[in-house]
Amino acid sequence: MSEYCEIFNFINRYRPILYQQVFQILSCIASIFLIFLGRLIQKPAYFHPNVKILLKLFQFSMIFYSFAIASSQLYHLLASLLFSNCEFLISSRLCFPFRFIATTTVSAFVFLTLSIPVERAIATKNLGKGYENRKSEIGAGMGYVALTVSITISLILHIPQLYTEIECDNCIYSTPTTVLPISKFTIIATWLLSAGALLLILVLLWYNRAQLARKTYSLSIEFQINQNLRILHLILPITILTFLTFLAIGAAELSPIFSRDFEEGDDDGEVIRRRSWRMMQNLFPIYTLLCSTIWLIQMLIKRKSQKRASQRLVASLAKKVDEKNVYFQTLQNQWGGAYPSTASSTTFSSKKTSTVLPARGGSTILVRSSVHER
């Protein structure tokens, strides 16, 4: 009975942290489910190979991030409940996989959301030059660069932790630099990159709309412009959300509420409060949930609009077929009324007769004749 009382006391004491752990676990699991559902619905939709590979990398980055956060927080939640009567610490070496994945994917969020409008800028510059017929070399190259830079940042940050014997009670939130290297340079860099991606999308939308209004191009160029506008409209909400997320995280980091030395405080209640604030500062579980939800809604709307367009096309073709049948039926009726003799058939019958005539030499000649009767 005393063990249950200790668990209840532990839950009551660390309630702010436990609630956030449960929320992050559930939101990450929901994000993974929504991402796979969105990819299933977007499968029939057409995307240029360069855009398709960049979208795939971005979506799988969200999946890996959600998996790292959900698995690590589930481990800490179960460990804290099962061993609530003792201080349960874990080595930083065992935390390396979770921290490495989280930092890599968060960095990839910024670079991949910038890579998609840059790729569309290249496509806009090469209108009418056969760019849409190319394969995914440019997209693969951009994705390779984005992931390489993200992995490099994560390795520089977390490799020194492999050579230390530091123990912590949470792989993600024990230090403020486990998810992203928090510094003024990092804050300014993420702001500039996300703001640059948003500004580039707005400029490309304006330019492509202006080109579409001129109507001095071929059908192939019109198709490319419409593809640019469609892709830019799809990634615009995600880019806005990325910019607002990094803006909020940077503003919270610069505020005096979030202190970096909260582990050194003597007051346990103060440590719990500041740890809870630190977990609230990590908005990326909410970010992945919102991104996956927005993309799923967009794909559902796109699929519904395509279904309506196909239904309108089928109805239009059926209407044309009906009009054609009515037209030919009208002509047939008119022809039948003007020439009634052609509508009925005339039947002739013949009646054959035979006559025997005498000939010279006593012979006879048989002569057959036929009389036609109507």
Q: Are 278 and 258 in contact (CB under 8 A)?
A: yes
Residue percentage of the chain with pLDDT more than 70: 67
pLDDT > 90: percent of the chain:
25
Q: What letter would DSSP give residue 172?
A: T
Beta bridge partners of 353: 369
> Could you tell me where the beta strands, DSSP code E, fall in 89-163?
90-91
The per-residue pLDDT for 89 is: 72
Tell whether 313 is covered by a domain. Answer: no
pLDDT range class, residue 313, cuts 50, 70, 90:
low
C-alpha Rg value of the chain to the nearest Å = 39
pLDDT in tens, 124-151: 888 777 777 777 788 889 999 999 999 9
> Cβ neighbours of residue 248 under 8 Å, at least 6 residues apart?
283
Contact of 146 with 105, CB cutoff 8 Å = no
Band (pLDDT 50/70/90 cuts) for residue 341 is very low
Does residue 26 fall inside a structural domain? yes
Q: Indicate the length of the chain as a whole number.
A: 374
Q: Mind listing the pLDDT tens digit for each residue in 261-275? A: 444 444 566 666 767
| Residue 366 within any structural domain of the chain | no
Cα separation, 312 vs 316, in Å, equals 6
Nearest CA to 52 out of 101, 119, 105 is that of 119
- Among 16-30, 161-175, 227-241, 312-326, the least confident range: 312-326
Would you say residue 239 has pLDDT above 90? yes
* Rounded Cα distance, 3 and 82, in Å: 10
| Cα–Cα dist 247/259, whole Å | 18
Q: Count of domains in the chain?
A: 1
**Average pLDDT estimate for 201-225:** 83
Q: What is the mean pLDDT of residues 355-368?
A: 50
> DSSP of 5-41, one letter per residue?
HHHHHHHHHSHHHHHHHHHHHHHHHHHHHHHHHHHHH
Look at residue 347 in the predicted model and tell me its pLDDT: 46
Residue 346 has a pLDDT of 45
What does the pLDDT average to over 311-329?
Answer: 65
46 domain residue, yes or no = yes
213 domain residue, yes or no: yes
Cβ proximity of 179 and 103 under 8 Å: yes
Residue 354 lies in a domain: no
CATH number of the domain that 246 lies in? 1.20.1070.10
Mean pLDDT, the chain, as a whole number?
A: 76
| pLDDT in the model for residue 127 | 77
Is 90 exceeded by the pLDDT of residue 66?
yes
The pLDDT assigned to 357 comes to 47
Helix, strand, coil percentages (3-state) for the chain, rounded to 5, are: 75, 5, 20
In a domain, 235, yes or no: yes
Q: Tell which residue, 31, 80, 91, has the closest CA to residue 59.
A: 31
Range of the domain at 184: 2-305
Q: pLDDT digits over 35-65, tens only?
A: 999 999 888 888 888 889 999 999 999 999 9
- The C-alpha angle with vertex 131 and arms to 125 and 134, in degrees rounded to 5, equals 150
Task: Check residue 216 and give its pLDDT.
Answer: 66
In a domain, 310, yes or no: no
Rounded CA separation 139/148 (Å): 14
